[in-house]
Structure formats: structure tokens, C-alpha cells
Amino acid sequence: MEFVIYHNPRCSKSRQTLSLLESKRVQTRVELYLENPLSERKIKILLEKLDIHARDLIRKNEEEFKKSGLTLSSNEQALISVMAKNPKIIERPIVVRGDRAIIGRPPENVLELIENED
């Protein structure tokens, strides 16, 4: 089963996670989510696969989030909408395999997806 990494090449953790996937020789499709922003629907699907709330996927210290006027206690749909409009505020990297996903912070988190390969 293919792995997908939502990747920001300027982020050291994202680069380290991609490198780890490559070193484990898993087939990985790279999605550059800053160049091709995620739709609200796609963000909802990722949240389900991650089994987290929208607030847990937001980089709260990013200027774009601060300027949005929202807080981490804002409603789920508002947070999803702001992530779709400002992909830079999405925590990274996200690695997906099938119906599961993990945030690669630290990069070693993705080993759980690799080790549990069916």
C-alpha cells in the first residue's frame, strides 16, 4: 500500500521524515500541499485518519493563524476553513497509509505506519 506524505521541502522535520521513508524503501507519493492546497473535505478526511481535532493540526504560532482572528477553541469548521485558505498553518509533515495517518513530529512517528504494514 502506497504512503503519501504531505510535504513542505523547506521544513527540516518534513525533509527528515521523507528521508526516513526513503531509507525504509516504502513507495511514497509526495504531495506539496503549499503548492496544491488541501480542500476542506480533504482536511476533514485527514483529521479522521489522524484521529485528532482541527485544533491539533494547527501551527498556532504561524502569523497567518494569528491574523485569522481565530483561537484553538474556535469551532471545528472555522479552523478547517482557515487551514484550507492558509495551508502554511497546517502541522507537517503528515504521512498517510490507507485509513491511518501520523504527523511526522518527530520523524520517527512514521515508523508506526511502516511497522504495522499489512
The answer to whether 11 is a known catalytic residue is yes
Catalytic residue among 4, 11, 30, 78: 11
Do residues 53 and 80 lie in contact, with contact meaning Cβ atoms separated by under 8 Å? no
CA distances from 24 to 15, 111, 112 (A): 14, 9, 12
Task: Reduce the DSSP state of residue 6 to 3 states and report it.
Answer: strand
Residue 37 burial by Cβ neighbours in a 10 Å radius (0-12, 13-18, 19+): middle
Longest dimension (CA), the chain: 43
- Residues with active-site annotation: 11
